[in-house]
A = this chain, B = another copy of it.
Amino acid sequence: MNKNNDTIKSELGRLRKLFIMPDSPDKFIEFGNELLAMIHDFFQEKGGIHSSITLPELSKIFEESDLPDKPILIKDVLSEIKNKIIKHSVKVGSPYYIGHMTSAIPYFMILLEMIIATLNQNQVKIETAKASSFVEKEFVAWFHRLIFRRTDNFYKNNIQNHKVALGSVTSDGTMANMTALLVAREKAFPADDVFPGVRNAGIEAALRYYGYTRAVILVSTRGHYSLRKSASLLGIGEKNVISIPVDNNNRIDIDKLRHKIKKISRYRHNARTKIMAIIGIAGTTETGNIDPLDELAEISKEVGTHFHVDACWGGSVLLVDEYRYLFSGIEKADSVSVDSHKLLYCPMSMGLALFRNEKDLCLTRHSSQYVIRKNSVDLGRFTIEGSRPFSCLKPWAALKILGKEGYSILFKQAKKSASNLKAMLDACGNFETFNVPELFILIYRFIPKTVRDDLIVLKELTLSGHDQEIKEITRTVKNINRLINALNIKLHKSLRMDDSSFVSRTKLESTPYRPQQIVVLRAVLINPLTTRDILREIVSTHNDIGLQLWEEFSPLYERIRSHINQYGWI
């Protein structure tokens, strides 16, 4: 018994040493330096973006379902991480990685993460997060002011006012959108003398009390999938997110929105619909375009509904004064969501839900005895999440280190990169670009010049000609697009195999070929390390592989073309 106790005691002693910064921090610095070298290698490494290992091979590496029993030395675990994980990670920071909204990040972010982990504050409560609670409120006010531009006095009264909240920091953009829609739901079915509010009584009771049969959310077809997810979670139902078509530049069609509102505002079969929110997008995920926010604000006001702007992607671009005109009307929104791991260049992940009215978030306030008491100053009263890290230190410090000035330069560079890529693709001839890149995203496809020329001629023919002919031409165009769709899917896969660069792929109805769905490639151009030369290399790779694949497709195309010739169209 005694012996056993001794063993545990000495083990406990060893464990305790892991829990403090060793008296002399040599050990920590030794590991730190080793890690720095590892990180350095990772950044310098050329070659593949995704590592060539296949997914089934990766499965084999991580298929141990039993927990580790015996302790392993830190250095051995670090080298396991190096060989099994770092080696097979995606180089999202590579300047050749232009496929998703992930860029290189400034290296000081790593220092900030060290501070966050060391302090290990829990933002839920002032007893576990003292200065950091105030930093968060200051940071939220910065973005609130950037977006809503309320008066000096407003901020003086509210920046550190613990009775209200200008916004809440969330784990990501989905949660930020969810927070905004939660507030919208509370506002749609508020408490009164009789009804305790939807939050307390639930959706069914709320609809019944207010005489509705459903609540809907209106957003363009470019709306992010997190909105459907939110509608599901909030008990509204995914089918009650109503999609409004967009124009060819991916902006919501205002006439169609008005038409839809008129239609759903009518009673039908005793069914009455509550419009819970209208959502504008400031930077669509797929194309980076911005809805006409001014008009959406006006319509929302007419309808008397909550106006939310999903600016998870684009919101930070308001830091450039000259680009503000793109967002005209955003200051009239009831709520706006922004992500810091996107255009604030912070590591994964942090979202921000901001509310023009400082009292809106009070509708969701909650409390408990042991944590976040009612009259406390705890930030946790206003958040969906409970325990939260001090993530806001990253954008707070980054805004100081880079300044509005620094971010302006980064965004101008991003805009230039997008224009450059568009110009290169247009100049090459074998590509078709689809959108005017407002916020650094370009949508395009590979299409050999001859095919494109044919499509142009066919398009012109549909403007004249008799009905039967137009029908036939339209069918031909569809067949050609189907072929080019298959070509682009294959091209995307080949680019993944090539692995020297990365772009993403999606399908869009908002092209000149609508309503046909067109497979497009998607480049997100925000990495400041992506130079013009790198873009040239990427275009050239696309073109080479595309032409190579075309050899396989051209016989099929010739068949369609002979059909065209038969009609004498081309």
Q: Is the CB of B213 within 8 A of A204?
A: yes
Give chain B residues whose Cβ lies under 8 Å from the Cβ of A198: 235, 237
Within 56-104 of A, Cβ neighbours of B (below 8 Å) are at: 58-59, 61-74, 77-78, 80-81, 84-90, 92-93, 99-100, 102-104
Q: Which of B80, B406, B507 contacts A400 (CB 8 A)?
A: B80
Within 181-221 of A, Cβ neighbours of B (below 8 Å) are at: 182, 196, 198-205, 207-208, 213-215
Does A137 count as interface, using CB distance less than 8 angstroms?
yes
Does A47 count as interface, using CB distance less than 8 angstroms?
no
A interface residues, tally (CB under 8 Å):
188
1/0 per residue A482-526: CB within 8 Å of B? 000000000000000000001011110000000000000010000
A213 (CB) vs chain B CBs: closest residue: B204
Q: Is the CB of B229 within 8 A of A384?
A: yes
Q: Is the CB of A68 within 8 A of B403?
A: yes
Nearest chain B CB to A221 CB, angstrom units: 11
Which of A114, A117, A368 is most buried by chain B, counting CB atoms within 10 A of its CB? A117
Give chain B residues whose Cβ lies under 8 Å from the Cβ of A528: 12, 15-16, 19
Nearest chain B CB to A45 CB, angstrom units: 11
Does A436 count as interface, using CB distance less than 8 angstroms?
no
Nearest chain B CB to A218 CB, angstrom units: 16
Nearest chain B CB to A2 CB, angstrom units: 16
Does A412 count as interface, using CB distance less than 8 angstroms?
yes
1/0 per residue A152-192: CB within 8 Å of B? 10011001100000000001111100100010000000000
Nearest chain B CB to A520 CB, angstrom units: 10
Q: Is the CB of A90 within 8 A of B121?
A: yes
CA distance A173 to B387 in the complex (A): 7
Does A254 count as interface, using CB distance less than 8 angstroms?
no
Given A19-B528, A36-B25, also A88-B130 (CB < 8 A)? yes
Interface segment, A27-35, A296-304, A546-554?
A: A27-35
Q: Which of B115, B127, B393 contacts A90 (CB 8 A)?
A: B127
Q: Is the CB of B410 within 8 A of A117?
A: no
Interface SS, A side: helix
Does A479 count as interface, using CB distance less than 8 angstroms?
no
Q: Which of B33, B137, B202, B401 contacts A77 (CB 8 A)?
A: B401
Does A135 count as interface, using CB distance less than 8 angstroms?
yes
Within 102-117 of A, Cβ neighbours of B (below 8 Å) are at: 102-111, 113-117
CA distance A111 to B34 in the complex (A): 10
Q: Is the CB of B68 within 8 A of A40?
A: no
Q: Is the CB of B67 within 8 A of A146?
A: yes
Given A58-B130, A74-B401, A200-B239, also A225-B174 (CB < 8 A)? no
A345 (CB) vs chain B CBs: closest residue: B19
Q: Is the CB of B401 within 8 A of A65?
A: no
Q: Is the CB of A122 within 8 A of B102?
A: yes
A158 (CB) vs chain B CBs: closest residue: B65
Q: Which of B58, B115, B319 contacts A86 (CB 8 A)?
A: B115
Q: Is the CB of A88 within 8 A of B387?
A: no
Give chain B residues whose Cβ lies under 8 Å from the Cβ of A265: none
Q: Is the CB of B65 within 8 A of A142?
A: yes
Does A389 count as interface, using CB distance less than 8 angstroms?
yes
Q: Is the CB of A402 within 8 A of B71?
A: yes
Give chain B residues whose Cβ lies under 8 Å from the Cβ of A59: 134, 160
| A18-B108, A21-B43 given; 7 more Cβ-contact pairs under 8 Å | A65-B141, A67-B319, A68-B404, A90-B129, A100-B371, A110-B118, A233-B384
The 7 closest A-B pairs by CB, nearest first: A235-B235, A202-B237, A65-B155, A171-B171, A348-B389, A88-B131, A174-B386
23 A-B pairs with CB atoms under 8 Å apart are: A12-B409, A12-B528, A15-B410, A16-B528, A29-B33, A31-B111, A39-B114, A55-B126, A59-B134, A62-B138, A63-B156, A69-B404, A77-B397, A87-B131, A92-B121, A102-B122, A121-B348, A175-B385, A202-B214, A235-B236, A348-B388, A349-B385, A370-B505
